[in-house]
Chains A and B, each alone.
Chain A
């Protein structure tokens, strides 16, 4: 009975000690704490490791260190896992919600490919982990814990549905934002203010655009400012808006026209001809019998 009391006290002290040191405690720490390392203490440490209160890590100098594991973070399923599975599970857990690639798991775990795939499959079947396709590379599968929500960098954020890019959604948003900017500009011009005020009135913040889109109700999901900033940038890249830097480092947006109207060479068929390189005085592609030109002249 006394022995059991003693062991409980030791466990409590070890946990206490481990909690104080984030990086983990070494044998030396235990020694300074207890004065000596008895077999009893070591037994209790082993017990703690088995029950996953402590985990064993290799310290800087090659010595073993024990680190306290938060019971909240502690894997719920552990009893029926063998050692290899646990290692893999831990590696995947460390990957967080950005996931981890098979190749990386292999190098970290030092396991061969065949047993590794087997382990991953069993873990997947037991719904402990899941495979998620990354949007950046469609062939690249990453693993993460089953209950985690994949990070934006993996799913691509609001613009992806099941790892497919929703270009229609982006196009619609692009058009609506542009419409909003143009509206603002037209309204500003109508107000008959001084030219400087007209310029200021036609500038929009991202928040204004966000509110406008929210009111329209075209988006099922909540769009963040960041999301709308990317959309506004596409309008800038379309040459339909200007991005004006403010003193506080943020940007305002304003609709503009292109510097010149589209004319010149693009108004005649040669400007947009797909086979202009092959066009010459002789041969089948020649201005004399050019179908594009005939159509244009009709």
Chain B
């Protein structure tokens, strides 16, 4: 947690939920956890405002609440700041789903991300309203897509609410992805009568997006892409199959997979792949992946037969190195990157040795080494000669690299960079607000005119109300915004990979990719299935209250 992270979180909250929520969020960020009263005192907001803000934050799963130690009737709230950062990834989630499952699924996801959590019927009704074609076919398609998304674990059931004053959230692991019963006729009725599904539906099951599943998909994509770059597309396909085998037997977020035998790989490839070359040379491909420097796959010698482990930990170490080295190359040039790799390979190395290994003139080598030292990419370790006195000439100065620290520094840099991008976006939007709005209004008018079948001339006339210089400004502004926003997505991608690396390497770091979806959200996880019938109660208290309070805040959301 740092100032950069706080600023970034604040600006995200401001962008999505408005000023009040931002104040509350920032206040919570600065404290480990706080009670409602505490927040009121420090923010000088009214109790009502703070409660409404907290309700929004709870609905989007951005805060966790627990009874305080001394009094179980008072709740204290803790901000889950890394969840706020996930807002940056929303465009990627959407793009991913749209590409993989098509438009209806993307509409459903968009609605769910917008509302944080919602019941299936509401999602369908709103997605239907947003879709271009409106008929019973679309409705059916939407329902099937929704069930599919649940089946693929991209949507997950919200925890059940138990307890009275300070509610407890209860997760039943076996039921997390139990598909709901959706009656299309009922949904159709709701659309026709315009009733809110929340008022009609009896058994309310709330759904929310399962970010872990998305991150797993992103992670696999990165690994497969790496293999493709290193070897070729056949090897990449092969590795994709190996990953799918891994998930059959091993926890998705495990550091290392259980051994996968060559036979299993052969079977699955034979069954599912249409790539003749891959099938023919499968043995060779597996062995090449195993022998490659990247170390994603390792031979397992403990058990008989030929078996392999997927080593996620090693994979992400290599990926993090690659990111770090890319950054150094871009920032300081190839020579500096070479020096960095020399230090990295030699572990501990003296200055003279560096220039000899890197074949760089001593002056230049020293310049780059100290530049890297200044920016904390390499560190110095002093070793004193035994028995010698003071004086600098008596010591050895060894350079070394601390990967985890660099990764953390880079994540900080990402926070800062993202914050700067956000500032710039807001600035740009403000500067051209009037023109942009005008352009959008104009577009609507033109479209409406076209629908009505007005003549070309009138449309031309309307179009000309925006003068050519104005048009140019609008175009430029649009281009700039595009650039800023796509840059945001790319920085976020790098941040995801670095945090995955840190998660694998320092278990102490609090991570949100635990694989247990609600682990940091609730303490009460039930692995038994005996009380499935309590679902109806889940809507009784708190969630309904959140729903009501947020519906009044809807104008502020996304």
Contacts and interface: CB of A to CB of B under 8 A. Distances in A.
Contacts of B229: 257-261
5 contacts: A136-B352, A165-B361, A195-B235, A258-B229, A259-B229
A262 B326 contact: yes
Given A260-B326, A266-B330, A230 B230 contact: no
Contacts of B189: none
Nearest to B228: A257
Contacts of B264: none
Interface in B168-224: 222
Contact of B319 (A194, A260, A296): A260
Interface stretch (B21-29, B114-122, B487-495, B547-555): B487-495
B327 interface: yes
Contact of A271 (B330, B357, B364, B483): B330
Contact of B364 (A167, A265, A272): A167
A297 interface: yes
B444 interface: no
Given A257-B229, A297-B484, A194 B281 contact: yes
A237 B357 contact: yes
B360 A287 contact: no
A268 B417 contact: yes
Nearest to B342: A237
A257 B424 contact: no
B234 interface: yes
Interface of A: 136, 159, 165, 167, 170, 174, 189, 194-196, 199, 230-231, 233-234, 236-239, 242, 256-268, 270-272, 276, 279, 281, 287-288, 290, 293, 296-297
A264 B323 contact: yes
B345 interface: yes
B253 to A, nearest CB: 21
Contacts of A199: 288
A237 B284 contact: no
B410 to A, nearest CB: 7
Contacts of B427: 287-288
Contacts of B334: 238
B326 A258 contact: yes
B490 A196 contact: no
B325 A239 contact: yes
Given A196-B281, A264-B491, A290-B420, 10 more contacts: A196-B287, A199-B288, A258-B326, A260-B225, A260-B322, A265-B410, A268-B491, A276-B416, A279-B420, A287-B421
Interface in B323-376: 323, 325-327, 329-331, 334, 337-338, 341-342, 345, 352, 357-362, 364
Contact of A265 (B234, B293, B345, B491): B491
Q: Interface size bucket, B side?
A: 35 or more
Contacts of A237: 338, 341-342, 345, 357-358
Given A230-B359, A271-B417, A238 B323 contact: no
B400 interface: no
Given A268-B421, A268-B491, A170 B330 contact: no
B330 A262 contact: yes
Given A265-B414, A270-B417, A233 B357 contact: yes
Contacts of B287: 196
Given A159-B359, A264-B493, A234 B330 contact: no
- Lowest 9 CB-CB distances: which A-B pairs, in order? A264-B494, A270-B417, A259-B322, A266-B330, A287-B420, A196-B284, A165-B361, A268-B487, A262-B326
B416 A239 contact: no
B423 interface: yes
B480 interface: yes
A256 to B, nearest CB: 6
Main secondary structure of the interface of A (DSSP, over half): helix
B318 interface: yes
Contacts of A257: 229-230
B327 to A, nearest CB: 6
B72 interface: no
B449 interface: no
B338 A234 contact: yes
Contacts of B326: 258, 260, 262-264, 266
Given A167-B360, A196-B284, A266 B327 contact: yes
B9 to A, nearest CB: 15
B232 A271 contact: no
A189 B231 CA distance: 10
B68 interface: no
A271 B328 CA distance: 10
B439 interface: no
Contact of A288 (B231, B357, B364, B424): B424
B294 interface: yes
A196 B358 CA distance: 32
Contacts of B294: 259
A195 B285 contact: yes
A52 B367 CA distance: 53
B232 A238 contact: no
A272 B329 CA distance: 10
A287 B362 CA distance: 37
A230 B356 CA distance: 9
A150 to B, nearest CB: 17
A272 B338 contact: no
Interface in B262-321: 281, 284-285, 287-288, 293-294, 318-319, 321
Interface in B220-273: 222, 225-226, 229-232, 234-235
